[in-house]
Amino acid sequence: MDAAAAPPTAARAEPTAEASTGAPAAVPADLRPGVPAGAPASDRLPREHVTVIALLLVAAFVVILNETTMGVALPPIMEDLGVTAATGQWLTTVFMLTMAVVIPATGFLLQRIGTRGSYLVAMSLFTTGTLLAALAPGFGVLVTARVVQASGTAIMMPLLMTTVMNIVPPHHRGRVMGNVSLVIAAAPAMGPTLSGAVLEPLGWRGVFGVVLPISVAALVLGAVKVRDVSERARKRLDLPSLLLSAVGFGSLIFGLSALGEGGASPVPPAVPLVVGAGVLALFAWRQTALQRADDALLDLRVFASRGFSTGLAALAVSMLAMFGALILLPLILQDALGLEPLATGLLVLPGGLAMGLLGPVVGNLYDRVGPRPLVIPGAVLVIVAMAGMATVHADTSWGFVLAAHVVLSLGLSLLFTPLFTTALGSLTPRFYSHGSAAIGTVQQLAGAAGTAMFVALFSIRSEALLADGAGTAEALTGGARLAFVVGAAVMVLAVAVGSTLRKPAEAPVGHGAH
């Protein structure tokens, strides 16, 4: 049995959903396709648990949607507030940095203040940040608002995944995690399109103004409806761990972002990368000592589970490829193929929506066949899509790029639900919050690494082609071709890791699950 699957002290194990409700918890008909309304009570979640999951899904959709609206809104913000592109990029960079700092602490937070407390903190922060951004009189206030928004966003996804794992039985988790994947995929896809549609009539403040009433409604409903679904644990906050985590993960994200900027960064990327690696080594050493008394900020015993580690490795590779592709495609579509920003957002929308809508279907398949029959074909589809994008030239039609992006999205849809579910399902309930925090942290690092890798390769090759006399459009597409070739090669690792995955053995909710 995996080390993370066997709590050393049974008395410390978290209460089960079964114990708190008096009946085995399961997924309700309205969350599980194909289950009739008259299904036995033992095969359905209590109503209050349905409400919690539904509100968490809505809230997660809102905060993730906000994350991807900034790319299209950045040019008018720069013009209105009179800042340069290098300064304006801090609106995105500071968001990533805040996420990287806050997410590692969410494992502690979820156990300390519970489901209800974590939800209210997350949505209060996000709503406050959104209001502040909409009213921001200057760039400094807007940056501060993005920090507050990111703090709430960082809590929401670990909260959603931990809650699902705590109250949904293993044999139905794939279906519910499919709904989580729908949110993760559809919200980012809709962000640029929404931003492009709102900018012209309402300006950049309208991008935040449209999100604000939805956020307020989610906060108010959550205050009324959300209740704790597991007991809280009396844990103390280790301030040195929090400081080491903030400096270590923040430095790594900053260094990776600087690596993608090339010579535009005021600090050599190697400096924050080395500092981050060194500080994280100290962080890991301290967590190893603290976790003996169950006092770690981020319990590293989750990585002792083979199923968690392999699932997370494949997820990291997939995230690296996805974020790299997402950062390059708008550049190619606008600067090389001549599409307008709104047209660019509309072009990537079908793939994003397809990936999201397939989430529940893939989750249903996962419950039946496990991860390997889904992950391996999914990784192969991503490789095919990347190889197709590696053939793009200045005269390539936007229709070809659209088709390649749809194939990429279909491949990713086969990856995310099985990988999330396999990784977390390989842990026991007492480790779910720490596992969710670890997944969120690795997602941020993989996203930053993918962006840095793709942009660096793109820039180096494009500049070399320009120096050789190539036209701008051909130089840009040439840089993209190199980046997508490397991306396809990296995804071979996902195929290799995916072939080793196994579906975790089923166990009652709240009991050991490998």
pLDDT, tens only, 4-54 = 444 333 333 333 333 333 333 333 333 333 333 333 444 566 677 777 888
The residue among 457, 366, 450, 369 whose CA lies nearest residue 414 is 366
Using CA atoms, how far apart are residues 391 and 447, in angstroms rounded to an integer? Answer: 24
What does the pLDDT read at residue 260? Answer: 62
Q: What are the residues whose beta carbons fall under 8 Å from the beta carbon of 247, sequence distance 6 or more?
A: 275, 276, 279
What does the pLDDT read at residue 467? Answer: 85
The residue among 118, 134, 119 whose CA lies nearest residue 211 is 134
- The number of beta carbons lying within 10 Å of the beta carbon of residue 353 is 18
**Amino acid (1-letter code) at residue 205:** R
What does the pLDDT read at residue 108? Answer: 79
What does the pLDDT read at residue 22? Answer: 35
What does the pLDDT read at residue 14? Answer: 36
> 470 and 136 in contact (C-beta within 8 Å)?
no
The residue among 12, 11, 13 whose CA lies nearest residue 512 is 13
What does the pLDDT read at residue 274? Answer: 92
What does the pLDDT read at residue 112? Answer: 81
Using CA atoms, how far apart are residues 137 and 490, in angstroms rounded to an integer? Answer: 44
- The number of beta carbons lying within 10 Å of the beta carbon of residue 158 is 29
What does the pLDDT read at residue 80? Answer: 83
Using CA atoms, how far apart are residues 316 and 494, in angstroms rounded to an integer? Answer: 9
Distance of CA 378 to the CA centre of its chain: 18
Helical pair 432-467 and 398-425, crossing angle rounded to 10 deg: 150
Using CA atoms, how far apart are residues 412 and 491, in angstroms rounded to an integer? Answer: 11
Helical pair 432-467 and 472-498, crossing angle rounded to 10 deg: 150
What does the pLDDT read at residue 285? Answer: 93
- The number of beta carbons lying within 10 Å of the beta carbon of residue 218 is 24
What does the pLDDT read at residue 43? Answer: 54
What does the pLDDT read at residue 261? Answer: 61
Using CA atoms, how far apart are residues 438 and 370, in angstroms rounded to an integer? Answer: 22
Using CA atoms, how far apart are residues 119 and 367, in angstroms rounded to an integer? Answer: 28
Q: What is the rounded (10 degree) CA torsion for 312, 316, 317, 320?
A: 170
- The number of beta carbons lying within 10 Å of the beta carbon of residue 8 is 10
Q: What are the residues whose beta carbons fall under 8 Å from the beta carbon of 53, sequence distance 6 or more?
A: 31, 45, 163, 164, 167, 176, 179
**DSSP tag of 390:** T
Q: 3-class SS at 34?
A: coil
pLDDT under 50: residue ranges of the chain: 1-42, 507-514
The residue among 120, 133, 116 whose CA lies nearest residue 216 is 120
Largest CA distance in the chain: 74
CA distances from 149 to 71, 133, 215, 365 (A): 16, 9, 11, 35
**Domain 3-237+297-498 class, CATH top level:** mainly alpha
